[in-house]
Every structure is written in C-alpha cells, then in structure tokens.
Amino acid sequence: MRTLLKVERGTIVHFGKWGGALLALLAIVVLVVSRLRSPDVILLTDGPIADWPAYGGDPYGTRYSPLTQITRENVKRLEVAWTHRTGDVSDGSTYPRQTSFEATPILFRGTLYLSTPFSRVIALDPETGEERWTYDPNIDLYQRYSESLVSRGVEAWEDPEAGEGESCRWRIFFATLDARLLALDAVSGEPCRGFGVGGAVDLTVGVGDVERGEYEVTSPPVAVGDVVVVGSAQGDNRRVEVEKGDVRGFDARTGALRWTFQPVPRSPESPGWEGWESESARRTGAANAWAPLASDPERDLVFIPTGSAAPDFYGGERPGSNVFADCVVALRASTGELVWHFQVVHHDLWDYDVASQPALITVRRDGQEIPAVVQATKMGHIFILHRETGEPLFPVEERPVPASTVAGEQAWPTQPFPVIPAALQPERMTPDSAWGLTPWDRGKCREKMEGLRYEGIFTPPSLEGTLEYPSMIGGANWGSLALDPERRLMILNMSRFASWVRLIPRDEFVAAQTAPDAEGQFTAQAGTPYGMNRDPLVSPWEIPCTPPPWGTLVALHLDTGEKLWEVPLGTLRDIAPVPLPIKYGTPNLGGPIVTASGLAFIAAAMDNFLRAFDVETGEELWKGRLPAGGQATPMTYRVRADGRQYVVIAAGGHAGLGTKLGDHLVAFALPN
C-alpha cells in the first residue's frame, strides 16, 4: 500500500499500513539532525539549580550564581521567555515625578518578588511571570518626591521560631518611598499584623523635622539574625538642617527599635564627634545610607555605605573631615555597635556618596585566605579592606588635593587614593581633551571647559564654575560590582563623563535661577551663603564633552588588583541625533551579575539591550533587545532540575538618564 504523508501547519498526518514505523523513524532522524546542527539548544538537566534570595544574590552582595545551563557556547540562543507588565510607570504628565525602574527581583521559596516605582510589592510565578499576589501601600503619587519614583527591591526572612504553616513565618520586608518599613507574609502578601502598627513602622520618627517627599527609602532593607536594618534616601542639597541620616535596626518580629547608628553624631559622647569641628554636627544632617547594604550573618556584621553630609557642594557649615559621612561602616548587626569604619572621601564637596553595595569576598595572599570587603566608588577608586578590621589590604595613600577659593570653605587638604587597584578612569581633563561628533560641537565643548576651574580630581566647587571629573554620577554607582570566586575576578561597570558645578552667592541666586539662559539644576542650600547650580558637561547635541568611552565594563583580579580587560559598554543607537551603533560606551546605571559558566550579564547602558560578556576576555557574546531602558541589575535562577535557567531584568527606563520609560520585567531563557 502506498504511504501518504501530508504536512498541515507543521503537524505530520499519516494514513497507511507503515505509518507508525515511519513516524518513529522520522522522529529519530529529526532528533539526530537537530543534535548535529545545533547541539547548543539542548537544555542541560544535570547542572545545578539555584535561587536568588537577596538583592545582591546573597547577603554578601556577590551577584554570583552557580548556574551553568546558559553557557558561552549557547548564550546566543537566548530568547524572551515571558514578560510581566507592572502598570507602574509615570512620564510626569499625571504625577509630578517620572519613574525609574531600578528593581532587582529576588527568588525566595519558589516565588519571584519585586518592588515597583510606585512602592508596590508583586509576587510572581518564576517560570511564567504570572502574578500570585500584589500589595499596594498606597503612597501619595501626587507628592513631589526629591528625585524620581524609584525602588530597588525587597528582602526575605524566615522566622526560625515560627511553627509550620504559621502566618508570617516567611516574610518580605520592604521600605516605601514615603518611609515606611513593611513586613508582608511571603505566601499571601498580607501585612504581618504583629509588626509595628498593622504591619508597618514609621521611619520618619526620630530623625528630626521631616519634609514630606524629601525623606525616603529607595534600597531594600537587610535582615541579619532577628534584626532588620534600614537606611534612608534624602534630598540633601536643599538646606543644612535636613533629616538625620540614621541607620536603624528593628526587631524582625515586632518592629520594635533595637538600635540606632548616627552617621552624624549628636553629642561629644557619640562616636565620630572629633570629625566635626565647631560642634557643626549638632546642626548638619544627611550622611545617610541610601545605597544597598550588605551583611555577614556568620560574623554578625552589617556593612553600611554612607553618603555626604548636607549640603553636598558647600561644607562651610560642617567643617572637619565629617566622619562617618562617605564611609564604609561595619556594625554589629545585633546591637548596632560600631566595629570599624573607613572614609573614602574627607569633607565631601562633590556628591561622591558611597553609592555601591559593599561586596564580601575572600582574598588569597601568601597562602592565606583573608576575609575582605570590596568597595567601588564614584571616583573610579576601588578599596579592598579587611572585613573584620577595615584595614586596607592594598596600599592607600593620602595625597594633597586642590584648596577651595570660596570664602568660608575649608576643603580637606588630602584625600585617600588606592595604589592598587589603580584608578579605573583618568583623573585629569583639559580643554584639549574636549570631544565632539563634529568640529562644531567639539568647539562648543572646549569653550565650556575653558571657562571652568579644574586642577584634577577633587577640585572644589567655585563661583566661576568647576569641572567635576569624574562626575557625581560617574564611576561605579548603585549597580555595584559582581564577584567570581572561582576565576578570582571582580566585574564592574563604570561611567566616564564630566559635570560642572558652580556656587552662587545668596543675593544673586534667584536672578541666576530665573535668567533666560539658565541651565541645569538649581538647589538652594538654605542655611549657607551659596546656592548651587550643576549639570552634566554635554554638547548642544546632549553628547558628553569628554572623550569616549563614556561607559565601560571592567575586570580586575581579586587577589592582585590587576586590571585584566576593559571594553566599552553600550552604543549611541538610542541616544544620538541619528541611531548609530557605534561602540563608544554610554553613561550607565545598573550593574552586572556573573555565572559559574563564565558569563557576565548586564544592561545599564543608554541603549536598550541586555548583554552577555565572556568574563575571561570581555568579548560580547550576545545582546537581547529590551522594550525600554534597562537601568537595573539583572538576576538569574533555575527552580527545578528539568527546568530552564532564567535571566530576568527590569526594563522600565530611568528618568535621570532620559532612557525610554516602561513597566516591563523581562525573562530570557534558552528555547524550551
């Protein structure tokens, strides 16, 4: 009998005596051919499974995953597996502020949790992106918050004293933009009623007079033992007497305040008082920890990155080194006791906050393994410190820096410079360095630079205007770095561009702010003799005036500090007057992650792509188009042995960078 095969919409339909045998043979042929032609699309089921239980991947902030299903050989096959739309996006037309979707989800006990720019918490199925529950604390979206509407993530905690099936045994801690610390049941999303008042603690209590919209929390809290630790974000340029930047530890079960650490000391008996002359600490605020924290649960330590005291660009009202501002601070997590501190900038005049999460790793030297903290900075300086003492593991020099020319200012005469690793971006810039796409815009950039004071990094703000390079959003920012403990690597992204800042005498401030040719951001710095005006140093085409690359991805050796490779990060495709895929790199916000298979995943740049790089060479192996800006740090997980490894990133753009806004959470995986 004649055999008939007919193909209809991809399905093989057979009628006849030998149909079953032919179908079986055809299936074998198809399988063999697929293995011969594209073996890299076959999902491996013998590799590890892993979750992502904390903002930085683990309490230590390593951003490292042991997953190996996605490899350097098959990464080019990644495709979108699912997309979740949160609905939480603002372009500023309805609400006063735009959104910046900076969240990194966590995977905890089989559920994906994330926060949105509207301070909602959402629980998702990690393999489909379908919503399991959502909690809305109903912040006032019509309030004008200090910057954009933003949140970076949540923290998970298990109560070892709770019984099986007891409500809130597993908790999601989250802090809102209007400064409430929430405890939610991880299973249902309901508030934990025994925590604070109805599941919330008011963080505005005890930090001074709070101005609505100016005292916020944007980064996730950290739970260590039975204490949950939280910092704050502040609009710290508006005046001297802003809110205190206290870091506080609350009982993870009840929400009761357990301890308070004061980066700005309150009295001569407080630690750090000697770093503030003329009792200026009694008046000054901020020095807050707005960036993500890290912890070492085994050592009962929590690591706090702090920012500048208020205001950022004039320190005449806060003479002294201003310790514990601009520091890495190690506290005893259970008590809040100060263990050590290391100041990366003395008497900050440049908004050089410690913006990156500290990362904990073991450094190998002379046959010894030394517990360490790696701290990246906006200046392109990397400090590697002993985790238990804060002592530098590589040489750090105090070098002279330029003095201030502004009456009333006492700039600190020296600043700490790490010798190893060497600075990751140039620390000198001249008008001859001006860059442009054409001779015309290069000339405009040169004119701007010639009118600004600049004597190298740490040149203080001035009345005529100062070139600030690196910029206050240069170097490494809140995206932080990623560590590969097997290959002994640290991977981090850097922004390389300049800004300008000028101080304006108080009696001239209003006129300058309302002048027809006024440009940039103006802030009052009330309580000082000067207002402030600043902006990125860009051409009339909004292209940076400094030479490219404007953004890079860098690899350093953990044990020697040696730079192993550096490549541009990002193209001009989505930001130039015409779309250009030129690899100049772009300013970037967000960070990398690293997998055991030798891949670094990162978006961050101003073109809308998630990229994968070879961690050993810096070669770009793959990029996936995103529906909006990817100014967030991705994460990765695999929930079961016969399942796929997912790489997930928030693609919602960033108000400050001006990238495309959206509300997308996008998951990539190999074909199923």
The residues that are catalytic are 351
622 forms beta bridges with 612
Tokens of 251: 């009982």
Contacts 24+ apart (CB under 8 A), 506-513: 506/530, 506/531
Of 206, 210, 197, 198, give the one whose Cα is nearest residue 230: 206
User: Strand, helix or coil at 594?
Assistant: strand
Q: What share of the chain is helix, strand, coil (3-state, %, to 5)?
A: 10, 35, 55
State the DSSP string of 522-557. Answer: EE--BTSSEEEEEEE-B-TTS-BSSPSPSEEEEEEE
CA angle 493, 104, 126 (to 5 degrees): 130
Residue 92 has, within 13 A of its CA and on its CB side, a CA count of 11
State how beta strands 593-595 and 521-523 pair: unpaired
CB-CB neighbours of 164 under 10 Å: 5
Distance CA 412, CA 304 (A): 23
User: Strand, helix or coil at 566?
Assistant: strand
CA angle 317, 320, 322 (to 5 degrees): 90
Residues 6+ apart with CB under 8 A from 239: 310, 311, 524, 525, 526, 527
**DSSP category for residue 191:** B
556 forms beta bridges with 490, 563
**DSSP category for residue 118:** T
Which backbone phi and psi does 19 adopt, to 5 degrees? -60, -45
CB-CB neighbours of 45 under 10 Å: 11
* Residue 279 · residue 312 · CB < 8 Å: no
Distance CA 659, CA 671 (A): 29
Query: What H or E segment, with its residue span, contains residue 368?
Result: strand 368-376
